[in-house]
Structure 1
């Protein structure tokens, strides 16, 4: 099959998901390509593109795509359609809100003559984060309802995401499947802590949705509760980075919170003994899967699909608040070995969250869709 993945932002979980899926599909003999935004990401993402481009027969094409809807979308849509048309896809798989719209509209436009293009959509959270009572929410959920008429299949990465879609948009018109994100076999290898590892580690986008501000405030509160000076490492990029650096300085952390730009997750895991995922909202975050597979004990907010990874009753789950995070961080420090033993076993993680499982299920749906 000729498979093209379309999405806007080449950062975070969506980019990770697409890269892994592309590699698995190319290894299975398919002709695969990527179309995405050229204005998002930095040197780290450029290196990732260089690595993946060499493995994809249809290559990587990047063109400017703005995040919000506006006049610039007209030119962006025209350029993207032209690129996709030259790739002659059998499957057009859109990821995220804008990628989903493009894939379904352009897939419909390419259905000419005898050619059938499978129009596939993976929300990855996307517009589902909006409040259905807000003007933006009503607009985007109305758009999702309209796009349902041009969709052949929807993939949800968590039950949470599927239930959110049904609650905010409605039951999908198209067939839908739950397919969890998957990790490579090599990722199920423990990462040892560095000799100077900090007490806690944050990895993620530097934006309020992911909770860096909660993490910094909770670290300060945990210091008060434990009566000891604590250290942390924060890894990631984003427009709000300077705000969090200023917050850490205002709370008197100085060099006890060290900020690093985005880097490979397994390299970052060595920098802190315990991982904290303080997100206010998520779909199915890769970083939780990666951390557990690497043997990192973690504290995570019970949002999105995170409870589906750790288990609904896991003691590692907390509310997305400073008090809840600080309380768990303090108790975990009291007996780190015992806390590590509360994490789910590797065998269970492999069976549910392996890349081979994810890719096989998605390919089966592609074939079924084209066959029908």
Structure 2
């Protein structure tokens, strides 16, 4: 098959998912192409695309893709239609809100005579919006309209499937829930550096990710414990807001902000990772942290309880800053199940979240 993947931002877990899926598809003899927004011009991203280029035998195309709808989208859809036609793709798989919209609007333009199949994985996306907000109302209505141009939905978690039917519409097209997965060599025991920080955050710097909750809880801990360190890795639209929060709390000497760093390298920098998100799909960062036997304090949002399974009592309730503080405090006092259960949790994830199985199930879904 000739398979085209479309997504907006070539960063984070969504991009990781597409890369892993495309690599498995290429290994099975399929020809794969990729369309993303023009990436950030830095050495890390340049190397990332250089590394993945061999996977995409049908090429990597970059377009100017804005997060919110605009006139440029109309031009982009025409460009993608031309790429699809010129390279005779059999399958388009859209990822995230913008990638999914492009994939299905291209099918609309191709018309009823086209044999191309279009699949869509939301990865959270529009499901994070409140239906009662003006923006959420418009985006969710668009999702409902585009269902007619969708040959199949791939949900990464049962939570995402339930939210779709609650917020968008009853599913009228084929769907499967296929969780993200890791490769066997990603399961190991991390060894922190000698002067490792006490806590770590990796991800987008957005209120949606709960970074403010982490900063507030950490500031309270600093009043009771001397010399604590927190490392925050990532970038995002609210980076300056979080830096000002740190300064206002008087803990700037205790917090270090770093640019995006490969997860395996970042894990070495601290003893415990914190994921205080207000909304998630089925985050790779959760899987990767558990696979490395790194203690993790995470919120109970999105598909995270599905990752934890029988260990979901380790999660704190989203927005509950007091519970987050207590869990962080316990790791400092050596009383934490977040530390004592890392091996059991790693074993559970290894048994249930496998990248080869993920890719095989998605490819089978394309053809049935």
- Scaled by the length of structure 1, the TM-score of the pair is 0.93
Q: Alpha-carbon deviation of 1:215? A: 1.1
Question: Mean Cα displacement is larger for which, 266-275 or 82-91?
Answer: 82-91
* CA offsets 1:172-198 (integer angstroms, 9 cap, x no match): 111111010111211112221111110
Partners of 1:134 and 1:355 lie apart in 2 by 36
Partners of 2:253 and 2:54 lie apart in 1 by 40
Aligned to 1:303: 301
- 1:265 counterpart (263, 267, 290): 263
Partners of 1:215 and 1:308 lie apart in 2 by 23
Q: Alpha-carbon deviation of 1:73? A: 1.8
Say whether residues 1:339 and 2:316 are aligned partners: no
Maintained 8 Å contact 1:248/1:254: yes
Say whether residues 1:146 and 2:145 are aligned partners: yes
Aligned to 2:55: 55
Aligned to 1:241: 239
* CA offsets 1:87-142 (integer angstroms, 9 cap, x no match): 321110000111111111213434675x5211100011111111111222221121
Structure 1 pair 112/143, CA: closer, same or farther in 2 (3 Å)?
Answer: closer
Partners of 2:244 and 2:261 lie apart in 1 by 22
Maintained 8 Å contact 2:314/2:337: no
Partners of 1:8 and 1:266 lie apart in 2 by 25
Aligned to 1:329: 328
Aligned to 1:205: 204
Say whether residues 1:176 and 2:169 are aligned partners: no
Maintained 8 Å contact 1:128/1:164: yes
Partners of 2:136 and 2:256 lie apart in 1 by 37
Maintained 8 Å contact 1:14/1:124: yes
Structure 1: unaligned runs, 5 residues or longer: none
Partners of 2:175 and 2:112 lie apart in 1 by 25
Q: Alpha-carbon deviation of 1:228? A: 3.6
- 1:251 counterpart (241, 249, 252): 249
Maintained 8 Å contact 1:3/1:92: yes
Aligned to 2:119: 120
Structure 1 pair 29/362, CA: closer, same or farther in 2 (3 Å)?
Answer: same
Say whether residues 1:286 and 2:284 are aligned partners: yes
Q: Alpha-carbon deviation of 1:276? A: 0.2
Partners of 1:354 and 1:229 lie apart in 2 by 39
Aligned to 2:230: 232
SS at match of 1:214: helix
Q: Alpha-carbon deviation of 1:41? A: 7.1
Structure 1 pair 331/315, CA: closer, same or farther in 2 (3 Å)?
Answer: farther
Partners of 2:31 and 2:221 lie apart in 1 by 51
Q: Alpha-carbon deviation of 1:248? A: 1.4
- Scaled by the length of structure 2, the TM-score of the pair is 0.94
Maintained 8 Å contact 2:331/2:338: yes
Tell me how large the CA RMSD over aligned residues is.
1.8
Structure 1 pair 347/163, CA: closer, same or farther in 2 (3 Å)?
Answer: same
Aligned to 1:89: 89
* CA offsets 1:129-156 (integer angstroms, 9 cap, x no match): 1111122222112111111111110011
Q: Alpha-carbon deviation of 1:338? A: 5.0
* CA offsets 1:342-369 (integer angstroms, 9 cap, x no match): 234333212211101101110110111x
* CA offsets 1:264-286 (integer angstroms, 9 cap, x no match): 10100001100100111111111
Maintained 8 Å contact 2:64/2:72: no
Structure 1 pair 167/192, CA: closer, same or farther in 2 (3 Å)?
Answer: same
Maintained 8 Å contact 1:211/1:279: yes
Partners of 1:264 and 1:299 lie apart in 2 by 20
Q: Alpha-carbon deviation of 1:160? A: 1.0
